[in-house]
Amino acid sequence: MKSYSLSFALSLSGVLAFSGSAYAEKKAPSSDSQRETVAKPLTDKERRKREEKLRKELEGPYRKWLNEDVGYIITDEERQAFKRMQTDDERQQFIEQFWLRRDPTPDTAENEYKEEHYRRIAYANERYSSGIPGWKTDRGRIYITFGPPAEIESHPSGGSYERPIEEGGGTTSTYPFEKWRYRWIEGIGSDINIEFVDPTMTGEYRMTMDPSEKDALMMVPGAGLTMMEQMGLSSKADRFNRTDGTRLGTGNSPLPASMNQFERLHQYAMLQKAPPVKFKDLEAAVTSTIKYNVLPMKARIDFMRITNSSIMSNITLQFDRKELQFQDKDGVSRATVNIYARITSMTRRVVNVFEDVVSIEVPTPQLAEAVKGVSIYQKSVPLPPGLYRLNVVAKDIVAGSMNNYETALNVPHFEEEKLAASTVVLADLIEKVPTRSIGSGQFVIGTSKVRPRLNDTFKRDEKMGIYLQLYNFEADEKTHKPNGTIEYEVIKRGSNQKILEFAEEVGKMENASANQVTIEKVLPLRDIEPGQYELRMKVTDKNRNQSLNQTASFTVNRNGAAWAALFTSRRQDGRLCTGDSFSVACTPRQFWFWVPLSPAAYVSVQPRSRLAALLSDPFTITEGFRSSALWFSSITGTTNLSSIRSPT
């Protein structure tokens, strides 16, 4: 008996094994076939399955929000977009954006539209319930969508009713009904009359397009006649032969325009639609950015850590004074720029707002020299790590010109045990501030005043400041100081030529700590040739074996004053003509002149009577013509120059 059972089990297992392998072989083509049909259109069965899955996902708070809370005010486009959301986070973000688009005062924490909407739902449930929730009734829908009407004519018990002349006149008996009148509904029009009738006498009023639907004697012969029917000018049977969708007993009398069948049908359809969304944010963007008179402005944002959860965002704006309009009053010329800035979350929730005035005052006699400079404004705003929008509007009060600047603020998150760095700031000024000014005022970071150069362009006679903060070194167990190095390189862009290279130990730097190391360097540029460069810094934490790289690009221009030096010109007849880079006088012949400073190059000069100071920043210097003689020909008596060329 045991051997029989064993052989039976072995036979059964063999059958199962054989069947399983055959089943696998049989299923393989089906699997391949399924993979081949993934990109094909869904079948009706697959589509129904997906819709059923979506329906189950939306059951719960999100389904209730879509179908109950905002069922009357959400647009078709928004509804479809919400159904395409894949995760709860996306749906939650959509809901926040939904209410924000309708917020009449987005600058405040309260959303008056949302509060009013839920108040209307509560009112509808309290007043219009009739076996079903009040928000589901027709009166509840209209009240929630468009708010309380200006006038309500209520007949809660029906009874005797004197028809208005446009409904045929005469007296009849009616079912309970109400007439609501709105003075204005956006997207529909003015003087909107809506009628609700309760023909079942159960308290459930239905919106109707037919004013005669409330007539309780409609089907009773000889009762509730209109004036035309009483005078014999029409028959009550004629009501059922009308083609305008009503059963009014007005005979052949014309109806007012508001009772035209197409007007009534249009109004009925529009009342079913969601109210239009007011895109106030888009409208503001259009009206404030499409301008013919734009105020030039440069902007820069730098991030410095305060704590791991708070990052100081330094917003710097620069205005060229030559672009501002000055107004003279009592010998003082004044230009004023009003600044309004708003920081919002990516869903347009306001996080911070600041306003300020930039005013430049100079004595009028010095105005010509003063307009050559720039005016810089900075505002420091602490923000939690995250992604924000920054909108800055600047307006020149005198000229009326305006600039609307928008950018993303990606405030970094600094991990506690990871080497990190602030933004690299290339500055035209780095200096210590008095004790009373530490941590306050424009351009002040800690104990130093750091004024950034927004265009990262310096002249050779200037010094370039370098400011950087480093965070999260691991302290040495013995010295409790950071153990690391900082390697500096200045590379000429295009050739990768190293202009400068040096390194320093982090632990030996002044006030260095494991929590933060501050780099404040000043680099003289007098020995650096004009061109474009890149500053590279490699920071290494030896204890944690971590490193990071920071880079910043800058440009060095020649000094404008060098071209104002005197030069000597020699005519072919041996006579000398002297002058400077602003003017030269000579008789109309060919002559040579030498530029003793800086390399010279091919320079195009527009014809004019004086050689103005055009040999400056806009022109490229090439090495091939250093101290070489340049030839030009004078066209008229006092050097009307057409060109300056190297001798051929």
pLDDT at 43: 83
The CB-based long-range contact list for 610-618 (8 Å cut-off, 24+ gap) reads 610/582, 610/583, 610/639, 611/579, 611/581, 611/582, 611/583, 611/584, 611/639, 611/641, 612/582, 613/560, 613/563, 613/564, 613/581, 613/582, 615/563, 615/581, 616/558, 616/560, 616/563, 617/557, 617/558, 617/560
pLDDT at 72: 94
Residue 192, phi then psi, degrees to nearest 5: -95, 120
The CB density around residue 322, as the number of other CB atoms within 10 Å, is: 11
Residue 366, phi then psi, degrees to nearest 5: -100, 10
Pairwise CA distance, residues 234 & 250, whole Å: 8
Residue spans of the domains in the chain: they are 44-102, 149-272, 294-413, 417-557, 562-644
451 forms bridges with which residues in the sheet?
429
pLDDT at 177: 96
pLDDT at 380: 92
Q: Which two tokens stand for residue 608?
A: 């004019």
pLDDT at 293: 53
pLDDT in tens, 559-605: 753 333 333 333 333 333 333 333 333 333 333 333 333 333 333 33
Which amino acid would we find at residue 486?
Answer: I
Q: Of 207, 226, 227, 204, nearest to 217 (Cα)?
A: 226
Pairwise CA distance, residues 468 & 491, whole Å: 19
User: What percent helix, strand, coil does the chain show, rounded to 5?
Assistant: 25, 35, 35
Q: Domain spanning 294-413: which CATH class is it, in words? A: mainly beta
Helical packing angle, 88-102 and 76-83, nearest 10°:
160
CB 362 within 8 A of CB 332: yes
pTM for the full predicted model: 0.50
* Sign of the alpha-carbon dihedral angle for 363, 364, 369, 374: positive
pLDDT at 42: 76
* Fold topology of 417-557: Coagulation Factor XIII; Chain A, domain 1 (2.70.50)
CB 628 within 8 A of CB 646: yes
Beta strand segments in 397-482, E: 402-411, 420-421, 425-432, 444-445, 448-452, 457-459, 463-471
Write out residues in the chain with pLDDT < 50, as ranges. 1-38, 279-292, 561-648
**Phi/psi zone of residue 351: left (φ > 0), alpha (ψ -120 to 50 degrees), beta?**
alpha
Angle at the Cα of 61 from the Cα atoms of 58 and 63, rounded to 5 degrees: 35
CB 591 within 8 A of CB 571: yes
Q: What is the DSSP letter of 618?
A: T
pLDDT at 569: 36
Q: Which two tokens stand for residue 100?
A: 């924000």
pLDDT at 58: 55
Which amino acid would we find at residue 193?
Answer: N
CB 438 within 8 A of CB 322: no
Residue 305 burial (10 A CB sphere; 0-12, 13-18, 19+): buried
pLDDT in tens, 427-465: 999 999 888 777 678 899 988 999 999 999 999 999 999
Q: Which two tokens stand for residue 498?
A: 């190293």
